[in-house]
Structure formats: structure tokens, C-alpha cells
């Protein structure tokens, strides 16, 4: 099983500042990597697929990068509505999620 890890567990960022979230896979997943946003009481929402492709309707402040085992989600200018938990997910070999990064306002 491919194990996903995420860091940090919690990220405090001032409004308008940049947020950088990291995700690591225990083995190469090439670019078969997605990012999801989940707000309290809501279903997950797809942000990024194929490591760097924004899903339809996702604001340009969200960007993804990386390949193989190291990935990054960047929120270029944090907005209040971006407060949420963010999960990475590999789909190279079945599916596994990371434990999540909680983004909060400083």
C-alpha cells in the first residue's frame, strides 16, 4: 500500500499571505496525485488532479506542483473562505489519502 504523509498538520496563515502545503508518497506515484478541500460538515471538493491541473471552477490562487514522491499545494493569497482541511490523494495504485493539513487564519 502506498502511504501518504502531509505536513504541517496545521498551518496558520494571515489573510493575503501565501500558504504552502506538502505531501509525500512512500513510493513514486508519478503525477497521479490529487488535492481536495474539505470544510466542516461538507463533502470533499476536488481542487487539483494530475498533480497540477486545476479542476473546473477552482480559483487561480490554488496551484499544485511536484511528481514522483514530493508534491506541493500553494494558495498564493489566502482568503477567509480557504479555511479548511486539505487532503492529498494518490491514485497510482488504488487510492490512498494523506492525513490532511488544517489551514487556519492567523
- The CA-atom distances, in angstroms, between 85 and each of 27, 28, 72, 93 are 24, 24, 15, 24
**Residue tagged 506538502 (cell numbers):** 22
Residue 44 within binding range of another protein, rule CB under 8 A: yes
Residue 99 within binding range of another protein, rule CB under 8 A: yes
Quote the CA–CA distance of 16 and 73 in Å, as a whole number. Answer: 16
Kindly tell me which of 66 and 100 has the beta carbon lying closer to another protein.
Answer: 100
Kindly tell me which of 2 and 15 has the beta carbon lying closer to another protein.
Answer: 2
| Interface with another protein (CB under 8 A) | 1, 32, 34, 36, 38, 43-46, 49-50, 55, 85, 87, 89, 91-92, 94-100
Amino acid at each position: 500500500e502506498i502511504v501518504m504523509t502531509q505536513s504541517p498538520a496545521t498551518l496558520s496563515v494571515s489573510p493575503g499571505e501565501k500558504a504552502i502545503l506538502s505531501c509525500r508518497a512512500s513510493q513514486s506515484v508519478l503525477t497521479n496525485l490529487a488535492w481536495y478541500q474539505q470544510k466542516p460538515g461538507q463533502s470533499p471538493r476536488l481542487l487539483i488532479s494530475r498533480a497540477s491541473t486545476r479542476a473546473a471552477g477552482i480559483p487561480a490562487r490554488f496551484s499544485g506542483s511536484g511528481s514522483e514522491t514530493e508534491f506541493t499545494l500553494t494558495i498564493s493569497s489566502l482568503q477567509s473562505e480557504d479555511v479548511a482541511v486539505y487532503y492529498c490523494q494518490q491514485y497510482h495504485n488504488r487510492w490512498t489519502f494523506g492525513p490532511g493539513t488544517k489551514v487556519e487564519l492567523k
